[in-house]
């Protein structure tokens, strides 16, 4: 399964609003813990090591070659 980098959220603005709301009233450390938990939950859902490695490369360097 390749990493899908094309727009795929039916309501990206709504998701962004919920993501921002998730951090409401959290201090920086709490916010970082929430982000880490969210990343780990989504990584577990994806499960494919190749897809996750590709996502890690792109997160670090968005100009990295696709693939």
> pLDDT tens digits, residue range 10-66?
999 999 999 999 999 999 999 999 999 999 999 999 999 999 999 999 999 999 865
Q: How far is CA 45 from CA 15, 28, 52, in A?
A: 18, 26, 10
At 64 the pLDDT is 82
Q: Given 3-state DSSP classes, what are the helix, strand and coil percentages for the chain, each rounded to the nearest 5?
A: 65, 0, 35
Greatest Cα pair distance in the chain:
38
At 47 the pLDDT is 97
Could you tell me if 5 and 58 are in contact, meaning their C-beta atoms sit under 8 angstroms apart? yes
At 65 the pLDDT is 67
Could you tell me if 54 and 3 are in contact, meaning their C-beta atoms sit under 8 angstroms apart? yes
At 67 the pLDDT is 47
Give pTM, 2 decimals: 0.85
């Amino acid at each position: 399964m390749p990493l899908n980098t094309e727009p795929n959220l039916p309501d990206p603005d709504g998701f962004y609003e919920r993501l921002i709301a998730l951090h409401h009233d959290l201090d920086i450390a709490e916010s970082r813990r929430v982000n880490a938990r969210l990343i780990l939950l989504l990584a577990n859902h994806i499960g494919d090591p190749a897809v996750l490695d590709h996502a890690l490369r792109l997160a670090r360097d968005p100009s990295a070659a696709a693939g």
